[in-house]
Amino acid sequence: MERRSHRSGPKVRRKGRPAGSGGGSRQLARGQLRRERALPPWLTLLGSVLVLILCFSLIFFVAKSCVATQKSTQIRKYVTSANSVLSDSANAGNEQLEPVLSHGLKDTEQLDAVAISRAADATRKGYLDALRKGEVPPEFEDTHHYMVTALGIRAGATKDLAETAQGDHEKFGEALSLAVEDYKLSDTIVRDHYVPASKDALSSANRRSDQNYLYEPRPFMNYEALGLSTETQSASSTPDDPNALHEIELLSVNVAGRPLYAGGNVILAGSDELAFLVTVNNSGEVAETGVPVEVILNTRAERQALSGTIERTEPGSPANVEVKGFKPGELDETAEISVKAGPIKHEKDKNNNTLTGTVTFGILEGGEVLW
């Protein structure tokens, strides 16, 4: 008999697709699909440029907003600071000086010279605070001079009054009359020049809302209570007519007796006093009072700014004021000078209000120092 094996026969492999042939086709199809869906390079570049423009625009507007906020903060800080300085000055007159003067007018022998000296110190402090104020917004550069001028007049008048009170009491009545004239002039400068100019500055800076922080002008003292309410000639006869021609011009500047021309130089010797005689002409149709004059001296060490006031100038007539108290520069140093008169209220042409030049300190001649 024939034996049959129970083992299964050899397996026969069926021919199929080559390994990996199906997966490769699918990957190739996906690659072709991706290439069909990809954006053109120029469109990608355009999108990147637009994103950059958007980012830079956002940065620009944020920076612009920050600058505008900083500017408005600086303006409000200046207005509130000026309000505080002027209020302190008015308090020194109404609360410190007026009661002492009222009592002293009744009996000059009981005059409190120490109290008047304290009031003089207070007015001087206010003047120096305004004079040394470092950060003045550009919109208030012309306006700030009015405040400095008014406070300087009050400080000088109170100082003279205090010196008289410490000396001859018989001359106190005459000194008080002169001081009151100056006080009323300072009131006029604040009321008719500083406050209106401040409102104009706020309007030009689009900060009309900050007018609520402006100083509300009030007299330095209650002159009626002291029996000194008569209006001064300077305050009462100055027309405030915007239709009239208001104009001043800077005629000349002398440094230590030598003329300083526009763009010129003055050489100072050791015996020269660093004093500036500024002459201003009233080219308008009405008298002007309280015309501010500022002299700026820029040495290597510091920037010095001092001011003076022309109390009154008639139409067509020149008037002058001396500004001094500067610290000299270094040996052989040439320092820049800027002199400015005004501006005054309602003045339109301000091109002839300034003069710039230089001074030289301590030129060596023959081995000798002239400064």
Q: Model confidence over 294-352: pLDDT tens digits?
A: 999 999 999 999 989 988 888 888 888 999 899 888 888 999 999 999 888 888 888 88
At 11, the amino acid letter reads K
| Residues pairing with 321 in the sheet | 278
The first and second tokens of residue 147, run together, are 């405040």
Among 29-43, 63-77, 105-119, where is mean pLDDT lowest? 29-43
DSSP-based helix, strand, coil % in the chain, nearest 5 = 50, 20, 30
Q: Alpha-carbon distance 87 to 131, whole Å?
A: 16
Q: DSSP string covering 93-154, please?
A: IIIIIHHHHHHHHH-GGG--HHHHHHHHHHHHHHHHHHHT-----GGGHHHHHHHHHHHHHH
pTM of whole model > 0.85? no
- Residue 294: its pLDDT value, please? 93
Tens-place pLDDT, residues 49-88: 888 888 777 776 666 655 545 667 788 888 888 888 899 9
Measured distance CA(309)–CA(278) in Å, rounded: 10
pLDDT at 14 over 70: no
Concatenated DSSP letters for 191-210? Answer: IIIIHHHHHHHHHHTT-GGG
Q: For position 277, what pLDDT does the model report?
A: 92
Q: What is the pLDDT of residues 134-148, one digit of tens each?
A: 678 888 887 888 888
pLDDT value, residue 369? 37
Where is pLDDT greater, at 260 or 9? 260
Q: Whose CA is closest to 310, among 325, 324, 320, 318? A: 320
* Domain 248-369 CATH (choose: 3.60.9.10, 1.20.1090.10, 2.30.31.70, 2.60.40.10): 2.60.40.10
